[in-house]
Structure 1
Amino acid sequence: MIETQAFRTQARTVDHLGREQIADCPTAVSELWKNAYDAYARNVSLHIFDDAEPVAAIFDDGHGMSYEEFLDRWLVIGTDSKFEKEVSDEKDRDGLKKRSKQGQKGIGRLSSANLGPLLLVVSKRKGESFVAALLDWRIFENPYLVLSDIQIPVTRFEKKSELGQLLPGLFDSLTDNLWGSPAEPERAKRLKVAWETYDRIMQESDPEIEAPSNRIAGTIINAVFEDKHFEPWSVWKGEKEHGTALIVSEINYDLRAQLPSIEPDGNVDKIREAFFSTLSAFTDPYVDPDSNEHNAFDPDFTYEVKTWVGEIAKPVVEDERDVINRAVTEELEHVLSGNVDADGVFRGQVKAFGEWRKLGSDYVIYPPKDFKLPKGPTTYVGPFSIHVATYERIRKNSNLSDADWAQFESLADQHGGFLLFRNGLRVLPYGRVDNDFFQIETNRSINAGREYWNARRMFGRVAISREKNPNLRDKAGREGFIDNRSAKALRALVMNILKRAAYEYFGSNSSLRKEILPEIQARNLAEKAEAERRELAKKNAQKFRGRLKKALPALMDLYESTSQVVTETSIESQQQLEDAQATIDRLSERLSDLRVTGAPSRLGSAEEDYRRFRTLFAEMQERLKLLEDKRATAIEKINPAKPEELAQKQLNSHASRLQSRLRSWRKSIDELQGSERDRVNALFDERNKIFHSLAMPLVEQVRLKRLGLDEALEQMKLLQAKLNTENEDTFQSYLDTLEVMSENINIELVARQGIADNAALRDDLNQLNQVAQLGVTVEILGHEFSSNERMVREGIRQIKAAGEVPGTHLVVKLQT
């Protein structure tokens, strides 16, 4: 006798298909955002509320679901997109063009289990009622439950105010999956046995854990969904008539780690970095309608992540196209972009060291000779587009300005990576730090200079589409492509394109690099010296203006107070002679203190003040000279009895003043040397520790097998070389300056004279340019006059010729 039996599905199947299939929380968010895209949403967002029990919510403005659609589609696992109802109604597409489905397996909605166990779904289709459902994904973890015994409470309502009244009933119905309902005694018995068995098994394995059924019941009973959790949703605000909301309680730690209340540590920082790097480039930022690519898409889709503390929202992830886009990357010094056709041939353009070397489709790269491109209907790759840009990691090798180079260094920390997009949406995990699908870092570990590309310091992507590249299919867990012949061929083609461009234009084997790099380095060195010269000139000008601002009022007071000093000074006796000498000494010392030196070549607004200062200073020097002349005449007339005593007294006075000023300088120098010694010691301490702090994470990544040993050693070598260059620039120049100073060379005077000479040369150059422009103008005028002269002569000749022929009339138009 033959019997027929059907598969019986355990509840745990849903857990296997959902939570266990998704690699991590950001990937789950990405999947749910793609579901919103498939529902023709224009906007999707994730909001995390920093409550006593944090809540997360994903909102979209897609076409939403009616009650019937929720039952027939959302609650049916594995609804394949090929058999789903086509979204052909224009109002469902909200004016958008038809989109290719991103979800293919009908299980994307199950990834919401990765966000947290308790889920409230609220959806609305235009012209239909709201539909709401409540479920706890942990119920599906019980291996002793049959799937058909789990019942999801679903309701519908017309106004948003009704949801609060319906929630208690939804929670009560959900708990029936733990204790059963008197209305279904047989089901209640099965549930009782299943939960008792599961609780006993779990507690036998770990006596300290709470029974799973009690833990689930506690969550359901204590969960709170408030109005504020719905307020950011455009449907709830009345701005849209359609969309879907997913509200989650007991959220994943990756979501909690985004909250301001979570104290940052090494683990939290890594979680935040991975979360940002996964979601910040959800849509292709490198699409440009004016570019030469033909397989790149702008999905017309925006996204964001926000955290909420009370009524204050803080952005965590925003659509990054305003920060990093095609236009920004084309400002980099190395750019490669174009298309790869069905035969694997790349045609595009390349920019190297700041100049476009080939444009349009002039740059051609053929597949490797030993590579055979698969052509079968289930193996071919299809055409795709590529855009990638980078910059020189070592500053002295770069064509970029200091500001631009620093900006791209900062951008690379957050937005660097070589990504992959399908129909304009991110395909994970490509572009993550721990993914090396195109073997960029593997090749660098062999020879970083020759291979050149650095995944952490490049911006770009490969663009594919579901229509032209159907054989590039995702794994069930959305963690990359199934490793079929098509995926292998794509990898080989892209690797070859990057390799050929590096060999021909960017890397250490490139003849262009060998030719142009010395010029760039020399120019950067000259620009650095010029920048330092300008900075020194600026500081000197500031110091001079400060001294002038302080000295001019004091000099004016001195000038006014000594207006009668010459006429009022009478020297008729030795005492008066000594008094006159004291006045001369006092005025000389005061003038010496007020002396202002080191005037820059261009004073700007201080020009008038400096002219006045020089005039007053010269007049004060003249007064001193008159007093000294008066003293000389008096000495001859008085003929002091003991002139040596006066001379000794004057010597003591001068010596005292000199010593006073020397003590003042010594005090200032000691203070400056002390603070400088402290600064240099702190700088040495900092530079001693920096390599260890930057290199130690590489050792940790090797231990965790996230980084290969060869790659780690190569990165350490590059880091050591970079820090060694920075240290040399910092300390060797400092040492050279000290050595020059030890030889008593006045560096400030040399620098000031160099600045003055430079300014004078610039003035001469400007005059020469003006003379050259005048010469060009004269040459142009001379050419015009010569042309007009020839025209006049030709006109006269034609007139004479016409006069010799009877009946001929000639009109000649002369242009001046």
Structure 2
Amino acid sequence: MAQFKTRARALDLLGRQQIAGIPTAINELIKNAHDAYADKFDVDFLRKDNLLILRDDGLGMTKEEFETRWLTIGTESKFINRKTVLPPKDSTKALRPVMGEKGIGRLAIASIGKQVLIISKAKQREKEYKIVAVFINWELFELPGINLEDIIIPIKEFDEIPDLIEFHDLRHEVLNSLKGLKEKDIISFEDYERIALSVINFDIDPKELNNNLIGDFKLTDNKGGTFFYINPVSETLIFDIEGDREKKEATKIEKMLMGFHNTMTPNHPKSVIDISFRDYRGDDGTYYDIIEKEQFFTPQEFEIADHHFEGDFDEFGQFKGNINIYGEKEYENHIINWNGNNFKETDCGPFKINFVYIQGDLKSSKIDPHNWAVLSNKTNKFGALYIYKDNIRVLPYGDIDYDFLHIEKNRTKRASTFFFSHRRMFGVIEINSKINFKLVEKAGREGFIENKAYRHFQDILRNFVIQLASDFFDPTGKNIQSEFYQKKKEEINSFHNALERRDKLAKGKKEKFIQNLDVFFKNLTSSKFEQDVDSILDETNKNLNSVIYIKDTDEASQKIIDYEFQARQKINDYKKSITLSGPKGFSLSKGNRLDFETYLKEFQLLEQNIFNKANNKIDFLIEEYISKLKIEISKRKRLEQAVDFISVEAKKTNSKKRNETNEIVTDVSKKIKELTSDLMLDLDNQIRTVKDKFKLLSTNNVEDFNLVEERKSMEDEIELISNRNTFVMDRIIRQFESFYIEKDNDGQIITNDQISDAMSEELEELRERVQADIELSQLGLAVGILHHEFSSTVRSIRGSIKDLKAWSDVNQQLDSVYKNIKVNFEHLDGYLNLFTPLNRRLNRKREEISLMEIKLFLIDLFKSRMERHNIEFKHTKGFANQKMNGFRSTFYPVFVNLIDNAIYWLNHSNVENKIIRMHADESGVYVSNNGIEITIQDKDRIFDLGFSRKQNGRGMGLSISKEVLNAENYNISAVTPKEGSTVTFRIERNKPTDNE
């Protein structure tokens, strides 16, 4: 009697060659972990070792289960008979639908790499089982002429995760098996040498690797799970991870592993398994989080999308649901019919859909620019309709390149009619394994088998997206729903275009304004203003000196008056040339506004110290030359000339502005008249066109036309133009109604332009504050996690420091070591405690702290950096003799921040001899350096939270330092630099108030 024999290549054909690629294989293993009731699944790719490690914390396997289930091809997971034992279940968790139903998922490992070490420990069984380890070389299964029974799979049990030596025992069994196959001439000598070399090169210590990797995966006591160590990994994995660097598309790994559960819709089902993928590209322990959750769509992003579509398809394929356009117009219980099955029950069964759409152009979207950009980037990478069966993604649906509904294909035919695009939409189609059981996945996870159920399913959805586009987004606006979309889109477009024009005009003004501010501060720093005014005074002095040679007294008198007039005019013109008027027609950021406020203060000082003094100097020179020449000049005449000069200048300026105002009013009036005339002309032409149609109508025969329909059609044509004209003119009227001119209590004129600018600035500031708040909240979350993770470690360190104190008390040599550790710990704890409630703070004590102790601490901390950058660290005698009273953990971080900043700016300066110098006297402690000086406009701003001139700086150090010092009744400020320095900070105790 003849029998089938199974070649080893059958496994290769069923496994590696059935799976589309490595990402699909990993997805299949995640589904197996899901079926094993795992809570987490971690993937670690160690590039330097070409090693891929996959771990889950599921139920694991016993040795018997490994042999009877894992090493058995095509095991049953759904079907029960007397000979079949179903996989174990976790009685502590909700029942999970089985996802890995094909029985070949384990063979997918062969597509990832040539060899695998599998380590598994069972839990939730009737007794405790040992750890099972199996080593498989997949190259054997690719060889021709070898049967399955010829291949030996070594399997061993251990009490702990095997180490390097124990793994070598498994390898040895494979090598002996290979040797036997070679001796029996089942494999060639060349194949033996090649495969044996692969086995020998797979040299890892599983125990050490598991201890060093991130993630708490233990196989002890009542914990279980399954680990896969795969080496060498297929060279395609790196491309699957990195993708095409020139394209901004999702990589294959991202496409296949993102969105394993539905996490994008509001109130989505809870995810049952957490997935991580870490790519270690070097040997320093740093890694890239390949499938970070924030890269995918979030419920918050789902909610802010432009259009929402949610509903159910019943057993007949008819859709009923809610449609929301632009978040304004809700259409409840909208129905889309499908007659593809003649209104009979479908084979696919009922299912749900929930997806959103964002406009492809920002000008047509209600989403703010930042979120629109974020969503556009995400939809370009991940946009599509994802299918979830029992909240587990069905591959490859969701891959932007898998157009199973012909969305992109239809769009290429006529984009205006076929509205939807994968790159603008995201959402879910939800099916259920019980109800939609006829939708069967292919063995290779390449979609559903194309049976009758799938054809129904596909046809229902294709009809749905086409009809949905026709109902709500028809560009001709033939129906009411489409008419709303078109009107709203035009309204948003108009708004964006207006903003764009305004921003374009404002951008140029703003750039010029900021540029002029920068020039002002540069000139102020270089004393250019003083030099220019001195030049005017010198020229005036020379001119007056020339009067000495004029013999005619009257002529000399007039010359002096003329030179005085010229001098004052030049001073006035120069002052005007450096005067900056306040921002008009554009808003300033908080930083720019602070710069402008600093400018106003500095200009006031210039007025007092330079321009007023210059005018006084002119008076002095005039009086001096009048006295020297012994001539008389009427003071009244000089006064009249000065007033005449001011009057002429004032009239000249105001006349110019009046003419500009009149020109603008005339121009606006002309444009409005032209517009209204054009609108009326359009209406008149439309009425004439409609009336012209009368000649084509016959009213004698009733059957020739429908009077009601014709009347309605003609009325609609006229009303369409009329409504458009009314809308435009209403907008113009509202603009003029909002025109505002009033006097305040001080008699100052206030216009709506000023109000608009003030509101724009407030909006700009609020945006900055929101961004800062977001960054701070993220930082707060990070610190919270840090605090949680380190709390036990901190307690342990604190206890160890106390133990060390006991030793240092009896051993003098340990005393300095103890103090150094204690100070460093308080320093670290002081930093972390800035973010913790006061009642959790360390039990610290106030003490007298020698400033030299602080300097020694700083030397320990920064010595190597200072030596590397050739920076001298000096102090004065006064500094060495002073002390501070308070907490070390308050002062130390402040000095650390100051020195850290000083090193940074010294390193970015061109100074040859870099020096940090510390001073102290009765007024406070000073920290100076000779690096890049602080600009005038930055002296106060450097203490604002979020302000920084450092590249990628957060602007937190000085702000937090000031806050913690203020809490201890100290203050920090930037003061006039000490001699030989360009920057000096002073830390001083606040003076007590009268109430203290």
**1:244 and 2:244 correspond:** no
1:114 corresponding residue in structure 2: 111
Question: What is the 5 A alignment of 1:774-789?
Answer: none
* 2:382–2:399 CA contact under 8 A, matched in 1: no
Match of 1:72 in 2: 68
Cα distance in 2 for partners of 1:562, 1:527 equals 46
- Structure 1: give runs of 5+ residues left out of the alignment: 181-187, 200-210, 290-295, 640-756, 769-816
The CA deviation at 1:129 is: 0.8
1:173 and 2:165 aligned: no
| Alpha-carbon distance in structure 2 between the residues aligned to 1:272 and 1:502 | 27
Alpha-carbon spacing, 1:560–1:445, altered in 2? closer, same or farther (3 Å): closer
- 1:148-191 Cα offsets, whole Å, 9 max, x none, are 2212100000022x4423222211221344331xxxxxxx58x7
What is the CA–CA distance in structure 2 between the aligned matches of 1:265 and 1:336, rounded to whole Å? 32
SS at match of 2:100: coil
Letter in 1 for 2:549: Q
Match of 2:58 in 1: 62
What fraction of aligned residue pairs are identical, expressed as a percent?
24
- Larger relative contact order (CA 8 Å, sep ≥ 6): 1
**Partner residue in 2 for 1:281:** 259
**Per-residue deviation at 1:311?**
4.4
Kindly indicate whether the alpha-carbon contact (under 8 Å) linking 1:64 and 1:244 is maintained by their aligned counterparts in 2.
yes
Aligned to 1:657: none
Q: CA offset at residue 258 of structure 1?
A: 6.3
SS at match of 1:519: helix
Query: How far apart, in 1, do the equivalents of 2:32 and 2:373 lie?
Result: 38
Report 1:106-145 matches (<5 A): 106-126=103-123, 127-145=128-146
Say whether 1:368 aligns with 2:368.
no
Pairs within 5 Å for 1:170-319: 170-180=170-180, 192-196=184-188, 211-227=190-206, 228-231=208-211, 232=213, 234-236=216-218, 241-257=223-239, 266=244, 273-289=251-267, 297-308=269-280, 309-319=282-292
Change in Cα spacing, 1:492 to 1:629, as seen in structure 2 (3 Å) is: farther
| Matching residue's letter, 2:39 | R
For residue 103 of structure 1, the aligned residue among 92, 100, 106 is: 100
Displacement of 1:343 in angstroms is: 2.7
Does the CA contact (< 8 Å) of 1:258 and 1:272 recur in 2? Answer: no
**CA 1:415–1:625 in structure 2 vs 1: closer, same or farther (change >3 Å)?**
farther
Q: Classify the secondary structure of the residue corresponding to 1:138.
A: helix
CA distance in 2, matches of 1:271, 1:219: 35
| Cα displacement (A) at 1:299 | 3.4
Give the C-alpha shift of residue 546 in structure 1: 3.9
Structure 1 residues 492 and 548, CA gap change in structure 2 (3 angstroms)? same
Q: TM-score, normalised by structure 1?
A: 0.66
1:437 and 2:404 aligned? yes
The letter of the residue matching 1:516 is K
Distance (Å, rounded) in 2 between the aligned partners of 1:215 and 1:759: 88
* Alpha-carbon shift at residue 487 of structure 1 (Å): 0.8
TM-score, normalising length: structure 2:
0.55
User: Residue type matched to 1:110 in 2?
Assistant: L
* Other structure's SS at 2:323 match: strand
The one-letter amino acid of 1:434's match is D
C-alpha change, 1:88 and 1:134, in structure 2 (3 Å) is closer
How much has 1:627 moved relative to structure 2?
A: 6.7
Shift of 1:322: 7.2
In 2: Cα distance, 1:257 partner to 1:417 partner: 23
Shift of the alpha carbon at 1:495?
A: 1.8
Residues 43 and 276 in structure 2, CA contact (< 8 A), matched pair in contact too: yes
Tell whether the 8 Å contact from 2:11 to 2:141 is kept in structure 1 after alignment.
yes
Aligned partners of 1:100 and 1:500: how far apart in 2? 34
Contact 2:312 2:352 in 1 (8 A): yes
Match of 1:336 among 293, 298, 309: 309
In 1, Cα distance between the equivalents of 2:295 and 2:245? 29
CA distance in 2, matches of 1:271, 1:443: 22
Tell whether the 8 Å contact from 1:333 to 1:355 is kept in structure 2 after alignment: no
Residue 382 of structure 2 contacts residue 400 of structure 2 at CA under 8 Å; is this kept in 1? Answer: no
CA deviations on 1:97-139 (whole Å, 9 max, x unpaired) are: 1100001121111100010111111001133210000111121
Q: 1:340 to 1:134 in 2, by over 3 A?
A: same
Note the C-alpha offset of 1:397.
2.1
CA 502–193 in structure 1, closer or farther in 2 if over 3 Å, else same: same
Query: Could you tell me how far apart the structure 1 residues matched to 2:355 and 2:146 are?
Result: 51
- Alignment partner of 2:514 out of 516, 520, 542: 542
SS in 2 for 1:318: coil
Question: Is the partner of 1:324 in helix, strand or coil?
Answer: coil
Shift of 1:388: 1.6
SS at match of 1:449: coil
- Contact map agreement 2:153 2:174 (CA 8 A) in 1: yes
The residue aligned with 1:471 is 438
- Corresponding position of 1:600: 582
- Rounded to whole Å, the distance in 1 between the matches of 2:756 and 2:370 is 28
Instruction: Tell whether 2:549 aligns with 1:574.
Output: yes
Q: CA deviation at 1:449?
A: 1.6
Indicate conservation of the 8 Å contact 2:74/2:104, yes or no: yes
Q: Partner amino acid for 2:144?
A: P
Tell me: CA distance 1:554–1:175, structure 2 relative to 1, closer, same or farther (3 Å).
Answer: closer
SS of aligned partner of 1:429: coil
Equivalence for 2:496: 524
Q: CA, structure 1 residues 237+563, in 2 after alignment: closer, same or farther (shift >3 Å)?
A: farther
Partner SS, residue 187 of structure 2 = helix
**One-letter amino acid of the structure 1 residue matched with residue 359 of structure 2:** E
Partner of 2:420: 453
- Report the CA distance shift for 1:525/1:248 in structure 2 as closer, same or farther (over 3 A): same
Moved more, 588-597 or 569-578: 569-578
- Give the corresponding residue for 2:752: 761
Q: Which moved more, 1:69-78 or 1:595-604?
A: 595-604
> Which residue matches 1:7?
4
- CA–CA separation in structure 1 for the residues paired with 2:627 and 2:414: 88
Give, in angstroms, the shift of residue 537 of structure 1.
Answer: 5.0
1:323 CA drift (Å): 4.5
Q: State the alpha-carbon separation in 2 of the partners of residues 601 and 141 from structure 1.
A: 76
- What do you get for the CA RMSD once the two structures are aligned? 4.1
Amino acid at match of 2:751: A
Query: Partner of 2:287: helix, strand, or coil?
Result: strand
Residue 606 of structure 1 deviates from its aligned partner by 4.3
8 Å CA contact 2:301–2:375 kept in 1: the answer is no
- The AA in structure 2 aligned to 1:353 is Y
* 2:352 is the alignment partner of 1:395: no
Distance change in 2, residues 1:270/1:474 (3 Å): farther
- Which letter maps to 2:487? E
Instruction: State the 1:518 CA deviation.
Output: 2.0
Task: List alignment gaps of at least 5 residues for structure 2.
Answer: 477-481, 585-595, 634-747, 760-996
Deviation of 1:765 (Å) = 7.9
- 8 Å CA contact 2:38, 2:58 repeated in 1: yes
Equivalent position SS for 1:450: coil
TM-aligned CA distance change 1:287 to 1:512, over 3 Å = closer
Which residue of structure 2 lines up, in the alignment, with residue 648 of structure 1? Answer: none
Hey, what's the Cα distance between the residues in 2 that align with 1:270 and 1:330? 25
2:827 matched residue in structure 1: none
- Which residue does the alignment assign to 2:733? none
